[in-house]
Amino acid sequence: MRTAFVFLLLVSVVQGQNLKSNIPYAEPAHERQVLDIYAPDGAKNLPVVFWIHGGGWQTGDKTSVQLKPRVFTERGFVFVSTNYRLLPQVEMGELIRDVAKSLGWVHKNIAQHGGDPNRIFVMGHSAGAQLAALICIDDRYAKAEGVPFDALKGCVPVDGDTYDLPAMITTAEIRQMVHGLPLPEFGHRVKFGNDPKKHIDFSAVTHVAKGKGIPPFLILHVAGHPDVTAQARRLAIALEAAEVPVTVYGARESTHNKLNNDLGLPDDPATQELYKFLEPLVK
């Protein structure tokens, strides 16, 4: 039995910020194949932030954006937050293609909402960080949706731990084994397909290569966490070897959620790094 979903497009205006909610980016669209657009009043040809939420690829929602829409629209950006279908309802490849399809919709349509389709910054937190990095490095996904890499002006993955899946899987499983603890029933190994070839293919580091047009990266992570620190360094080393501009910033006295929640606060060091990264790329 097929279920028909009705999408209610909501338009609101809050303090000079226009919000259009639940815009379908697929045809036909699943109820999670929708995005929200936040734009300043009178927006025209503004740079675009494309935000991918976290939640372990199993939970999360596009509305979990904290201060970001207000902060970015005040700084002259159009801010887009996307949903995507989740595990285990779909497998990882479909999930990634949902994000790419959403990005493709933005590239084709964002000019109608005041954004510049050729100045897109891809960002994401946690699971969204893995998705952001992969979309901006493995060009097969963007190309399939008609998005040229030169339209992507920067990538900001926030506290991801899966840029190199085989390394992360091995680290996590050895940690459990040496402490005599059971392996997780639905850990990274299973989430990403329980196939070593898939683990390699879904790793952003696998696809880093010189001359592909990979955009500059700012990799934000929690300095006190060994796994995200190691993964950030691993991705940065691969990008540097391919001569892709990359900055790594480890946030001190922070946590996985705090780093994300604080982005946009005026006295937040990671936010200052973000602004420093964006400023020359927006021009």
DSSP state of 28: S
Residue 17 binned pLDDT confidence (cut-offs 50, 70, 90): confident
pLDDT of the residue at 7: 62
pLDDT in tens, 20-33: 999 999 999 999 99
Residue 12 binned pLDDT confidence (cut-offs 50, 70, 90): low
Region 75-80 average pLDDT:
98
Is the pLDDT confidence value at 140 over 80?
yes
Closest CA to 223 of 247, 248, 252: 252
pLDDT of the residue at 8: 60
Is the pLDDT confidence value at 6 over 60?
no
Question: What three-state secondary structure class fits 171?
Answer: helix
Is the pLDDT confidence value at 5 over 60?
no
Is the pLDDT confidence value at 160 over 50?
yes
Whether the CB-CB separation of 53 and 80 falls below 8 Å is answered with: no
Residue 2 binned pLDDT confidence (cut-offs 50, 70, 90): very low
Q: Where are the alpha helices (DSSP H) in 179-241?
A: 188-191, 196-201, 226-241
Instruction: Please give the CATH topology (third level) of the domain spanning 10-164+203-282.
Output: Rossmann fold (3.40.50)
Closest CA to 161 of 150, 152, 172: 172
Region 206-229 average pLDDT:
98
Whether the CB-CB separation of 92 and 198 falls below 8 Å is answered with: yes
User: How far is Cα 175 from Cα 54, in angstroms, rounded to an integer?
Assistant: 24
Residue 212 binned pLDDT confidence (cut-offs 50, 70, 90): very high
Q: What percent of the chain has pLDDT over 90?
A: 93
Region 264-268 average pLDDT:
96
pLDDT in tens, 114-137: 999 999 999 999 999 999 999 999
Region 225-238 average pLDDT:
98
pLDDT of the residue at 245: 98
pLDDT of the residue at 3: 45
Mean pLDDT of the chain: 95
pLDDT in tens, 216-225: 999 999 999 9
